[in-house]
Structure 1
């Protein structure tokens, strides 16, 4: 190795000396053949030992002599075998063309070629690279007569540099592909490196970032906390922090930063990445809002799994049902079943949940104490990204008081406040229902219009309070006189109507009518006072020979009632359809006469 080093050093000295001599003594070289032969012998030794590719070419770019290394890669045993050959005879056409094109200006213009990287192919076809320097050789007339070239094999160096460049590009591409910002600080907080995303997010140019500090992107308490985190990275090796990342235009973005200490060339650096957590913060806010709603909602909330096993309930659930959260976890909501809904009801509910993903309606459930309550219930199905149901969420409110109020309103709308009997509205519904059923059943319906006899005198003499007590008592007595299925309604004042259903014939109504008269005539005690009233009843029947509606039946019964009063009261009178037709015919004749007289 020492000998080789000495040889190489000597070769370099000789090459340098030769170059200098060539420059200074071109004329001497032509005149001193003996000296040239002596020099050639020494130079041959150099050519055999140098690791570089050394060569002389004439003005036609043909080899005059070269180093052994060049002979070896072209497959020649000795460089003398290459004398007179052109690059086109030694190298592949593409390579030879490169050499020819780069040597043309050297020969034509006398301009040296320096530090040019060229490819080459050895005898086995392997590719290599050389760093080439070519100088023109001049004669005494300053005419270029040849080329002196030295090419150094830089294949391994080139591969290392290429690998380094590729690694650098890979690193750059990797950093730029990161979903967040990448940054590198030195111990003073000065920026050393960053990725494209950092520039894009902050809005600063590379030139601006190069003179900025890491703390420049934060304000207030965030600046302090980030500074502490950076110090912690250099002292402990790593740290992370969440802070608002301020951009060039003043916008603040929530970011999570994580830093790692790294030592490069004996100097400590901070390598870090930052991830935009805006969506996470929004999701957290939504979750907090949802949790707050879940906790503080006045409506009961139930969350179940796909099999309807309870996963969670809120406080309102406990307030409404009486069951604590611990008592219902893992249970099925059917523990609240009151039995008021049948299987068909729940089958429809589950069908809607499976096909429409929701169900809404009223349900009666049972409280822990056994009481039944009404709730307005909404159930929604929650599906995953594959469309499979994962959970059910039920939202319900106690509407028992609302239902009770509705029932009160319903009662007020259909019942008399004083007697509790059906009023005119409910009477109409029941009468029409009885009329529709009578033909199908082959039965008759009786409509009895009842007016009390002597009631006005009671009111005038003893006052309305006593009169009201009398009406309420008579209502109870007359109701007891009816059969199951019959209806007694109060129209107002002392007027009542009884609807008797399922009568096989007219005579079947007589016992009921008689009991009504008897009930109305019973004495009534108001303190020390004993009062007696009676009733006059007018009765009509359905069906009739002519079509009649409910209003017509009431008018017929009313007419018959007046006939009962005229006949002496405390009795009933059956409506005479034939007589009514004669009266109506007589009335119509009178109307025609009046009309005829009016036209004269």
Structure 2
């Protein structure tokens, strides 16, 4: 069993299978949970819209006890697919109407009567109970509680969706793992056999190098492994020859090479033939020497500093002097590397005779003061190199760029500050510059003394100075330019965002747009560049809108808000636009940048929801909520202007008889025709609303300063309404006649509340009914006092009966 588990094929199969199971199942769980949460949130929102909307819609019918109207309104809300039950209960806990879905066939069952306990709160609330969202919303009017609405919304569909996703995920995971495991077994069988053969071949290499392993698998990695083993076999075969060749190269190279034993006081343990020639000593004689015997250095501090630097950096290049045969002294450049090899601390390096280079440097120092001053005061980092890449002279700006003093820079090799190329690449570049007879231009990076690296642009030209070739190079710091290029690339990526973007100049001419602009407006970039953004103008807004917008941009430097624009195809759409001012270094406007998103669909959804909440679904007139909002605004306007307004409460006489004889559908047709006739009788700025049942309210604004003139105008409108509503109604095949009873109250400023005004108009309407119907009455304060007395008496009687 253990040997079976140690198999590469089995382990890869188990890892892939386990990873697939975890990944796919985790993804399935995540998708199911996310879908469930989204569906549950949507269900709660749907419960709120249904319950609150129904409570608002039936409020007026509850007041007048129009049970048929309540039932009809409740039935309209049964179209929601997840709804299982709706209940309308009055303030005495009696169920007025209840509709429940038959879970077997999906039919709705309508019932009346029964009791239902009050939920004991006065605002909307929802709870989760047995896979259902139970919601309550109070029915209120005139600050009084009339009862409440209860809804039951099923979450079975959410649960079924989650279970379906879980099942599909499990099946898909099992099927995928089985197929993938089978595929792995088939695919990896031959590669595993090849690996085992390769392992046996590798174990036999020390004794059988030079042999070739045959390819079995077409897998790229295994082919590379077999090729590598075959290559290693060939390398071992040629190892002895290559080692001998390497030793021969060391012996015959022109550069003197040395190895020092650090623990043995820097004793020489190896030199090549070039080193023997350099010092004029035999190999055996040099092996008896130490480094201090050959280097002329009188300052012990300098020697300690060089050694400490070599230990820290493991590489060091410096100049010194050698004493050679006959006590001759020559200048040398020494390159040393500090390594640990076979538990021994060694210094390995090479050195070169730089006497000729020093003479070149001396010749350069004898140049004219003018040329030297020009060199040292150049704004670019000018430096002169010999054929080996060593600095002969450098400008002050170059020294400042790298952070070194002039004494430190002179004599340095280009490899000591270049951070992009290695030593071999630099040697090739220097050689290439000397071979070419024209100006060379390339980019690289310089390493400063403090460790920083900077981007530079090098311009170089090979020149002859006193018979010797030198390289005249100039380094220019381009770090800021590189950073600016990077910022431009980042800005280009950000420019292609999901939002539409348009950039104009200071004269508001379009300079550039992004792809999202084209997707939203339909205009290609070449069609709008050079044009004014007015090409999108829809003329939906007044000129004052644009004046206010540009005033905000001028004062605040930006503006944001909704605006109607026109696409290329002529379609009007709504967008949310942000305009920002871009200023230059002189604080003057250089550009305007506009970003926008299309919010047409979102706006239409909001308008639809508002219409359901504030308009009567039968007549499309404002409902009680919207009427109260407009009445508050009318009271404020009346307070400012000092002019009176009026409320006309209209009730159709004997409307119940129509419902009882011809049916509620004929009653609905009558109400729709009454609404149309009322709208035709008033001015455009006046409001016609339906409170519920057969009750309508007409609000007239901006009448006259004095009550008599206002009352006369209202009476004229009232008679006009009477004439219109007294005309025959064609209800399908039936011709019907109905009359209105109209109650009127005047208002001015905030003398009465909205509820008081509606109550006064209602009282006046009932006075019209008691006067024989089909008449108009103005509100009389004495009638209000009588009604208040009667209400108080009824309240006292109820309390007495209760006690």
- Which bin holds the TM-score, normalised by the shorter protein? 0.5 to 0.7
Distance (whole Å) between structure 2 residues aligned to residue 442 and residue 339 of structure 1: 34
**Who is 1:487 aligned against?**
687
Q: Return closer, same or farther for 1:225/1:319 CA change in 2, 3 Å cut-off.
A: farther
Shift of 1:277: 1.5
Q: Deviations over 1:529-588 (max 9, x none)?
A: x798967645022159994343222001223444566678x6456255143254167469
Q: Deviations over 1:242-263 (max 9, x none)?
A: 1222345553322212212121
**Structure 1 gaps, min length 5:** 1-163
SS at match of 1:365: strand
Distance (whole Å) between structure 2 residues aligned to residue 420 and residue 517 of structure 1: 18
Distance (whole Å) between structure 1 residues aligned to residue 766 and residue 426 of structure 2: 101
Distance (whole Å) between structure 1 residues aligned to residue 683 and residue 586 of structure 2: 64
Among 688, 697, 716, which residue is 1:508 paired with? 716
Shift of 1:309: 3.1
1:364 aligns with 2:564: yes
Among 520, 524, 545, which residue is 1:324 paired with? 524
**Who is 2:780 aligned against?**
577
Q: Return closer, same or farther for 1:262/1:323 CA change in 2, 3 Å cut-off.
A: same
**Who is 1:425 aligned against?**
625
Contact 1:244 1:253 in 2 (8 A): yes
SS at match of 1:255: strand
Shift of 1:347: 4.6
Distance (whole Å) between structure 2 residues aligned to residue 376 and residue 545 of structure 1: 38
**Who is 1:559 aligned against?**
763
**Who is 2:573 aligned against?**
373
Among 432, 436, 452, which residue is 1:232 paired with? 432
1:191 aligns with 2:394: no
Q: Return closer, same or farther for 1:514/1:222 CA change in 2, 3 Å cut-off.
A: farther
**Who is 2:745 aligned against?**
541
**Structure 2 gaps, min length 5:** 1-364, 704-709
Contact 2:460 2:473 in 1 (8 A): yes
Contact 1:322 1:367 in 2 (8 A): yes
SS at match of 2:526: helix
Shift of 1:489: 1.0
Shift of 1:279: 1.0
Contact 1:176 1:197 in 2 (8 A): yes
Distance (whole Å) between structure 1 residues aligned to residue 382 and residue 750 of structure 2: 98
Matches within 5 A, 1:149-548: 167-168=368-369, 174-202=374-402, 209=409, 212-218=412-418, 227-237=427-437, 238-248=439-449, 250-296=451-497, 298-304=499-505, 306-350=506-550, 356-432=556-632, 436=637, 445-450=646-651, 453=654, 458=659, 472=672, 475-476=675-676, 478-480=678-680, 484-492=684-692, 494-500=694-700, 504-505=712-713, 507-515=715-723, 517-518=725-726, 522=729, 524-525=731-732, 537-543=741-747, 547-548=751-752
Q: Return closer, same or farther for 1:228/1:572 CA change in 2, 3 Å cut-off.
A: farther
Q: Return closer, same or farther for 1:220/1:182 CA change in 2, 3 Å cut-off.
A: closer
Q: Return closer, same or farther for 1:578/1:290 CA change in 2, 3 Å cut-off.
A: closer
Distance (whole Å) between structure 2 residues aligned to residue 339 and residue 222 of structure 1: 67
TM-score (norm 2): 0.44
Q: Return closer, same or farther for 1:507/1:196 CA change in 2, 3 Å cut-off.
A: closer
Q: How many residues align?
A: 425
Distance (whole Å) between structure 2 residues aligned to residue 545 and residue 298 of structure 1: 47
SS at match of 1:284: helix
Matches within 5 A, 1:25-104: none
Distance (whole Å) between structure 1 residues aligned to residue 596 and residue 422 of structure 2: 44
Please give the root-mean-square deviation of Cα atoms over the aligned residues, in Å. Answer: 4.6
Shift of 1:386: 4.0
Distance (whole Å) between structure 1 residues aligned to residue 779 and residue 589 of structure 2: 71
Distance (whole Å) between structure 2 residues aligned to residue 578 and residue 342 of structure 1: 46
Q: Which has the larger radius of gyration?
A: 1
Contact 1:300 1:320 in 2 (8 A): no
Contact 1:260 1:272 in 2 (8 A): yes
Shift of 1:233: 1.6
Q: Deviations over 1:361-408 (max 9, x none)?
A: 444333333333333334444444444444443333334344444544
Distance (whole Å) between structure 1 residues aligned to residue 689 and residue 422 of structure 2: 81
Q: Deviations over 1:449-484 (max 9, x none)?
A: 437855599599978x88767755654455456565
Distance (whole Å) between structure 1 residues aligned to residue 466 and residue 660 of structure 2: 117
Distance (whole Å) between structure 1 residues aligned to residue 650 and residue 551 of structure 2: 51
Which segment is superposed worse, 362-371 or 580-589? 580-589
Distance (whole Å) between structure 2 residues aligned to residue 551 and residue 189 of structure 1: 98
Shift of 1:280: 0.7
Shift of 1:177: 4.0
Contact 2:445 2:454 in 1 (8 A): yes
Distance (whole Å) between structure 2 residues aligned to residue 544 and residue 390 of structure 1: 54
Distance (whole Å) between structure 2 residues aligned to residue 434 and residue 421 of structure 1: 18
**Who is 1:56 aligned against?**
none
Distance (whole Å) between structure 1 residues aligned to residue 530 and residue 717 of structure 2: 62
SS at match of 2:389: coil
Shift of 1:226: 5.2
Q: Return closer, same or farther for 1:473/1:536 CA change in 2, 3 Å cut-off.
A: closer
SS at match of 1:261: strand
Contact 1:218 1:245 in 2 (8 A): yes
TM-score (norm 1): 0.57
Distance (whole Å) between structure 1 residues aligned to residue 796 and residue 683 of structure 2: 48
